[in-house]
Amino acid sequence: MRYLLLLALGTTALFASAQAIANPQATSPSEENNLLGLPPVPIPASNPQTPAKIELGDKLFHDKRFSVDGTVSCANCHNEKQAFTDGLPVSVGHHGLTGTRNAPTVLNAAFNQSQFWDGREPDLEGQSKQPPVNPVEGGLANHEPILEITRTDPYYQAAFQSVFGVSGKKITMDHVAKAIAGFERTLVSGNSPFDRYYFKGQTDAMTATQIRGFDLFIGEGRCVSCHTIEQDHALFTDSRFHNIGVGINQIQQDIPRLAQAFLEAKNKGGEVDVMVLTDKKSSELGRFAVTDELSQIGAFKTPTLRNVELTAPYMHDGSLKTLKEVMVHYNNGGVNKTGERVNDFLSGGIRPLNLTDPQLNDLVAFMKALTSSSISSKQAVPTPTQAAN
Ligand code: HEC
Ligand code: HEC
């Protein structure tokens, strides 16, 4: 945590004023390094960063009292030792209850144009209010218990007073959400071998197999059409939603009935956050659950690929265990097992690739070139294995 906190403060200083970005003296070389390959962190005018706010957000992120049985904090499912994921196919909340979806990393979530696999929340502030009151996560009936704690705990009383100038009943969930989001905006990490290769011209930063994988990524594999790379930075996401044949292939006969039932429940006041995380089949409807548009059935947000080596298992349902399985899925044109039928809503961008097994291994090697050097060396995870050639 210490490392991230230092980074946090460095980032705050960096983005406190816009002109600081262009001023190399505003950051030490190591901090600047960590941001290599990333665009500036977007900080909303309504929630400026301060060191005290970030520290408060860090505490809130780790507070297990914000759950019905006192065991679940954000960090349970977004554990810094596991690159801010939980390493599980689908997350476990209070009393061992399981949800329906894989916990994405919070690293670099600051750059997301929408939050959650289906993009149902526009920003980090909105996102952070959901987990404590989700029936399979924090399990609270409403936000009152959180406000009770923040209004009476001496640490929080002092912190909310100094950060927001509020106390007692004036502390609201908006303040809590702002502090958590402020903390999350410091969890950014670039400077991977790829960043040094591509943005700094260090031709030896990637191995030969990683370079071949990169060529496939932007060439025959067509990966870059969704996992995008810009001229001066790369987030590896187009921030759009695509059906790439995960989960939905198995339930396609049921889709018309499911979609109809979902819309009826939603019209009767059902909350999307609750419905998709408590019912496996509703979860598979993807972006449709948010927009009601049939064309978006089974479509999920393109995830970043930064640090993907550290965030297995993969996909919105955690159904693919390894990066190799992911490559096989793409190579088969959106099905995981040969013989499985693709679903009717599959994205036009997903077609069989006819790559060879060594080429799939090259793509996997390239995925491992996206691990931020600061994380792999500071955290309790194996160092990336780099193939010899
Ligand atoms: C019980 C496990 C669990 C807890 C607790 C939890 N999360 Fe999550 N988080 C998830 C899962 C699962 C998803 C994906 C859900 C979905 O997309 O429908 C998610 C999604 C997110 C995202 C969206 C990332 C993206 O790329 O779209 C952010 C940000 C996030 N969580 C932050 C938090 C914060 C902040 C807290 C505490 C207030 C928290 N989470 C608590 C499991 C959890
Ligand atoms: C049509 C857009 C599109 C194309 C093309 C595409 N992807 Fe994806 N990718 C996605 C989406 C959307 C997801 C999440 C899907 C889901 O969970 O249902 C994803 C998920 C992944 C994941 C899992 C990430 C995680 O955190 O779970 C990896 C790895 C990946 N893609 C790599 C690749 C590679 C390599 C290629 C090229 C061979 C590629 N993608 C081509 C859109 C695309």
Q: Collapsing DSSP states into helix, strand and coil, what is residue 121?
A: strand
Helices 144-152 and 173-184 meet at what angle, rounded to 10?
A: 80
Biggest distance spanned by C-alpha atoms of the chain:
63
Is 106 touching ligand 1 by the criterion CB < 6 Å?
yes
From 59, 76, 77, mutation site for ligand 1 pocket: most ligand atoms within 8 A of C-beta = 77
- Residue 175 Cα to ligand 1 midpoint, Å, equals 19
Is 283 touching ligand 1 by the criterion CB < 6 Å?
no
Domains, the chain, ranges and CATH?
Answer: 2-184 (1.10.760.10), 193-372 (1.10.760.10)
Residue 341 has what pLDDT?
85
Q: Are 367 and 361 in contact (CB under 8 A)?
A: no
Name residues whose C-beta falls within 8 Å of residue 226's C-beta, 6 or more positions apart in sequence. Answer: 237, 238, 240, 242, 302, 349
Instruction: Supply the DSSP string of 214-229, one letter for each residue.
Output: HHHHHTTT-GGGTS--
- Residue 364 Cα to ligand 2 midpoint, Å, equals 12
Q: Are 171 and 150 in contact (CB under 8 A)?
A: yes
Query: Structure pTM?
Result: 0.91
Residue 261 has what pLDDT?
94
- Residue 294 Cα to ligand 2 midpoint, Å, equals 21
Which two tokens mark 191?
């400077």
Query: Splitting the chain (389 residues) into consecutive groups of 10 residues, what average pLDDT does each group show?
Result: 41 36 44 87 97 98 97 97 96 96 98 98 97 96 97 98 98 98 97 97 97 98 98 98 94 92 94 94 96 96 98 97 98 86 91 97 98 68 35
- Residue 29 Cα to ligand 1 midpoint, Å, equals 32
Residue 338 has what pLDDT?
73
Helices 51-61 and 173-184 meet at what angle, rounded to 10?
A: 100
Buried residues in 113-146 as b, exposed as e (16+ CB within 10 A): ebbbbbbbbebbbebbbbbbbbbbbbbbeebebb
